[in-house]
Structure 1
C-alpha cells in the first residue's frame, strides 16, 4: 500500500524527525511504499527564511488565537495537501506533537475536503487518550494511534488493507457512532528488534545542522512530577550498545553527503545515561571501531556518573550534555520528585567540565513551593558554578504538566478564572500563565525568569548563534573589525571541509559600552561580548550549506586582537566574503557598542 507520512510545523528545523523515520522504516520492512513530507522543514527553509526566528516559538503554534495570525504563505496548506494526494496514498499518517497539533488538524481537514476517500491516521506524543475525543470528533481523522506506534501501525494497516475487524487492534481509538478506545498495547520489550530509522525521502538538504537524530533508549528512570514525557513511554527500556553503534555506522554510510564533514548525531532520548553500564559499552565500541563522530544529548544528574565514564564519553565523541537541574534549592528539588541534591549536580557538572564535555543546564522558575529564598539559592548555584557551565538555557516558568496537571489542587494551584480552568485544565495542556497561588503568579514567575536570564547573560552563559543581517552595517570608517584570512588549503574539492583561523583586531577609537536601555533583554554583558563569523556569497548572501561560525567569548578592546577558528566547506571557485557578526541576538546594534564589522573577500581559486 502507498502511505504518506506527514510532519507539520512546529518541530525541529535542525535535523529530520526521528519518529517519522522510525515509522517509515517499519512500514517499508512490511512491504509498503512510503512518501514522507516534512512540511516543517519546507516552511522554514523555503518560505519563511530569515524571518523564521520570529515564528519559531512553540507557544505560538499551540495557541489557537496566535496560530491564526502566523503569516503562512498564501496557498501553502492547499499546495501541500495536493502534493500529498498526488502520491495517491491509501493512508495518510501524521506524526503529531503538541506544537504541531493545530497545523496537523488544519491540513487533515483540507485533505478530507479535497478527497474524503483517504484514510487519515494521527499518532505521536500528543495523541494521548483524553485528546482522542477532540481529534476524532473533528471528522477529519479516522484513527488515532496511542503510545508507541511501530507495532500498532503495522497491525492497523494490515486490518484495513485486508478488511479485518479493527476492534481487536490494540493501541488505537476510532469513531463508530461514538469514540471507541481499544485496550492499550504492550510496549516493545526488545528495542533492538525495531529497524533502524529510515530518513530516505526526507529533504535532508534543508536541515541546517547537517546532523541526524538517534535513540539509545525510550522512557525515563525518573518520575519528575511536572513532566509528562515519561508518562508517554511508561517505563525505561534501552537498546544494546552493539545495536546503537551498528546504526551509527549504517547512517554514516547511507547519508555520507548529508553530514557537513563531521558526522554529528544528536540523541532524542529523555536521558542518555539511564543505563551507565550500557553507555560505557557504547562508547567503548565507538572508540574500538574508530567511528569519527560527534554526539550530544540530555542526561540526568546521577551519582554513578563517574570521571572514568565521562572520560570515555569524551573520547567517543561526546561534545555536550544537557542537564535538567531546574533548581538550586534542595527543598524544591525534593518537591519536584528529583532524585538528587544540588551538591550532586555541582559535582557532576564540574567533573563533566573537567572531562572536556560541554555543560548545558535547564532551569524552572516559579515551582509551586518555590519561595524567594529558594529562588535566591538557584541564583547562587548559577553564579557559583559559572566557570563550569557553557550554556544556561533560558529559564522556563513552570508549565503545568504531568502529575501537577492531573492533581493540581494537591499542589495548591488555582487557574484563576473559571473559563480558563475549563479551557486549559479540562481540554488542553495549560500554558504557564494560567495558574496562581499565594505569592506565585504569572507576573512573579516572569520577573524571576528575567532576573535569572539576565544573570546568565552577564556571566556569558547565554550565547546564541544569530547572524541577523539587518542589524549590521558595513565599513563605517574608524569603527571596524579587521578580519584577515590567514590560510586556505590547496587542492580542495567542492564540499570538502577545512579549518580556518581568523584574526580579529578591534580598530575602534572608543571602548565598547553597555546599551542604554530600560529593556533588560537588551543588556550587554559587562566585559563579555560574543562574536561569530559566517561565510557569504559574492552577493553577500549567507551560504546556508557552507556556513562556518566560530565564537569569541571575551571583549576585544581597541587595539587588541584575538584569533577564532571555524570549520568551512569549500565553495565553488570565485569570491566569497567572511563576515564578523554578533552572536547574541539580544545585544543590539554594532553602532551601540562602538565598532562595525568589515567584510573581507576570500578569493578561492584552487576549487574547481
Structure 2
C-alpha cells in the first residue's frame, strides 16, 4: 500500500532526519510504497534568512507556544496550506507524522489542514512526545490524529501498514498504539521492544534531496537504544526499557553506506553524528567498532554523547581518535561529587572526570558538557563546587550548556518526590523543595552566575 511520513519543524536543518529514513526503510522492506515529506527543511528553505534563526537551539523552544505557531501560520499560511493540500491529494492512505515537544503544536495544525482537505486520510502521530512518560494521550485529545504510537515504531509502523492493507477494519488490534474510537480511545499497549537491533533495515536516504540541507556531508545514526545508567533526573532508561546495542560489524556496514551516500568532492570526508544516549555503553563493541573502521580504511569523522567511566582510558581515547572520533558530549551534569551522589550518577567521580576530560583535551578532541543547575538537595557550597570546576576546566570545552533542573515524568525524581523533598513533581520547571529554599528564582540566579563564568562558551538553549 502507499503511505507517507511527514517530518514537521523545528529540527536541525543540517542533515536528513535519521528517524524518518529508518522508518521508511522498514516499511519499504515490507513491500509498501513510502513517500517522505520533510516539511522541516522545506519550511526552513521557504522562510527568510532572518526567520531561519528559529531553527537554532537558542530559539527552538519558541515553537512550543500557540502564539508563536499562530504567527508562523499568519506569515506563511499560503505555503503551509498548499503543502498540506499536496499531502492530502496524494494516494497515501496513512500519513505518519513525527512529533517532539517542540514540533507537536505545529504538527497538530498541519494534521488539521490535511484532514480539512481530505477527511478520509488516516493520520498517526509518533515520536518521543507520544511516549507514555511525555504528552502521550494528550496528543490525541488535542489533535485530529486517529492514533499515536506509544514507543519505538520501527516494527510497529510496518505492522500497522500491513494490517491496514490487509484488513483495515481490524487496525485497532495492532499492538503499540492508542486508537481514537468515537469519543473513546483503544490502548493496545506498547510496541514490542526490539532486542536485536541488527535485524533492522539500514536507513534509506533515497527519499531525500541532500542538497537542501545546510551542512553537506553530514549524517546521523544510532548504534544503541537506552542507557546503562539510571540517573534520578532522567527518563531515558525507563522509556527505552533496557539497553541494547548493534554489533560493530552492522554499524560499519551502515557507515560504509553513509560514506557512499554523503561523500562529495566538496565534502570528501563525511561527518556522522551518533545520536545515541551514549556511544560507550558497551566498551567491547566500541573498541571493535574503532578497530574495524581503522582496518577498513573508512575515512569518516564522528562524534556523540558518552559516559565518563573508568574504561575511557588514554589508550581507548587514542584508538577512538585514530578511528575518526573528533567530538564528544560528556554526561557530567555537575562539578560537585555530593550532587553527583544525589543524582545517583554512577561509574565515575569528579577526580576521574577531570582526568578523562584532560586526556581528551590533550588529544585535540572537541568536548561539550552540560551542568544541571539546582538539583534538589544542591546547597550553596555544592553549587560553588560546580562553579570552581567550571573555572578550572571551561577552556577545555567548545560549548557548555547550563540547563535548569526540570522534573521529567518517568524519572526517579518524579516517581519518588518525597525522596527528594519535592512539593509538587508535576511542576516541571517551577518545582519547589519542601523547605521552600530551592525555587526557580534561586536556580535562575545560579544559572546566571555560571553564565558569567562560561562567557562565550555558553550553549544557549533559549529556555530561560
TM-score by length of 1: 0.70
CA distance in 1, matches of 2:256, 2:67: 45
Does residue 173 in structure 1 map to residue 169 in structure 2?
no
The structure richer in strand per residue is 1
CA distance in 2, matches of 1:253, 1:392: 31
CA distance in 2, matches of 1:260, 1:405: 45
5+ residue gaps, structure 1: 416-420, 465-520, 522-608
Question: Match of 2:5?
Answer: 5
Please give the secondary structure, in 1, of the residue aligned with 2:15.
coil
Deviation per CA, 1:387-418: give whole Å up to 9, x if none. Answer: 4x222323111121123234445433345xxx
Distance apart, 1:156 and its partner CA: 1.2
Change (3 A) 1:408 1:45: farther
Change (3 A) 1:193 1:16: same
1:566-585 equivalence runs, <5 A? none
2:25 touches 2:204 (CA, 8 Å); kept in 1?
yes
Counterpart selection for 2:146 from 142, 148, 153: 142
Distance apart, 1:303 and its partner CA: 1.0
Change (3 A) 1:53 1:386: same
Distance apart, 1:55 and its partner CA: 5.9
2:12 touches 2:55 (CA, 8 Å); kept in 1?
no
1:399-410 equivalence runs, <5 A? 399-401=406-408, 402-410=411-419
CA distance in 2, matches of 1:41, 1:97: 16
Does residue 275 in structure 1 map to residue 282 in structure 2?
yes
Counterpart selection for 1:218 from 225, 231, 236: 225
Tell which structure's C-alpha radius of gyration is larger: 1
Could you tell which deviates more after superposition, 252-261 or 282-291? 252-261
CA distance in 1, matches of 2:382, 2:69: 36
Question: Match of 1:21?
Answer: 21
Please give the secondary structure, in 2, of the residue aligned with 1:36.
strand
Please give the secondary structure, in 2, of the residue aligned with 1:385.
helix
Counterpart selection for 1:328 from 331, 335, 348: 335
Distance apart, 1:307 and its partner CA: 1.2
CA distance in 2, matches of 1:118, 1:201: 21
Question: Match of 1:46?
Answer: 46
Does residue 435 in structure 1 map to residue 431 in structure 2?
yes
CA distance in 2, matches of 1:378, 1:68: 41
Does residue 108 in structure 1 map to residue 111 in structure 2?
yes
Change (3 A) 1:60 1:297: same
The structure richer in helix per residue is 2
Please give the secondary structure, in 1, of the residue aligned with 2:301.
strand
Distance apart, 1:27 and its partner CA: 0.9
Question: Match of 2:403?
Answer: 396
1:125 touches 1:232 (CA, 8 Å); kept in 2?
no
Does residue 58 in structure 1 map to residue 63 in structure 2?
no
CA distance in 2, matches of 1:261, 1:255: 9
Question: Match of 2:384?
Answer: 376
Distance apart, 1:258 and its partner CA: 9.4
Distance apart, 1:66 and its partner CA: 4.3
2:262 touches 2:270 (CA, 8 Å); kept in 1?
no
CA RMSD of aligned residues (A): 2.2
Question: Match of 2:295?
Answer: 288
Question: Match of 2:188?
Answer: 182
1:194-343 equivalence runs, <5 A? 194-210=200-216, 211-257=218-264, 260-339=267-346, 340-343=348-351
5+ residue gaps, structure 2: none
Question: Match of 2:94?
Answer: 91
CA distance in 2, matches of 1:237, 1:315: 25
Distance apart, 1:51 and its partner CA: 3.1
Could you tell which deviates more after superposition, 355-364 or 64-73? 64-73
2:130 touches 2:137 (CA, 8 Å); kept in 1?
no
CA distance in 1, matches of 2:459, 2:181: 53
Question: Match of 1:193?
Answer: 199
Distance apart, 1:120 and its partner CA: 0.5
Please give the secondary structure, in 2, of the residue aligned with 1:74.
helix
Change (3 A) 1:218 1:262: same
Deviation per CA, 1:220-240: give whole Å up to 9, x if none. Answer: 111112122333212110001
CA distance in 1, matches of 2:25, 2:209: 16
2:334 touches 2:372 (CA, 8 Å); kept in 1?
yes
CA distance in 1, matches of 2:86, 2:171: 29
2:54 touches 2:62 (CA, 8 Å); kept in 1?
no
2:89 touches 2:118 (CA, 8 Å); kept in 1?
no
Distance apart, 1:22 and its partner CA: 0.6
TM-score by length of 2: 0.91
Question: Match of 1:117?
Answer: 120
CA distance in 2, matches of 1:66, 1:334: 40
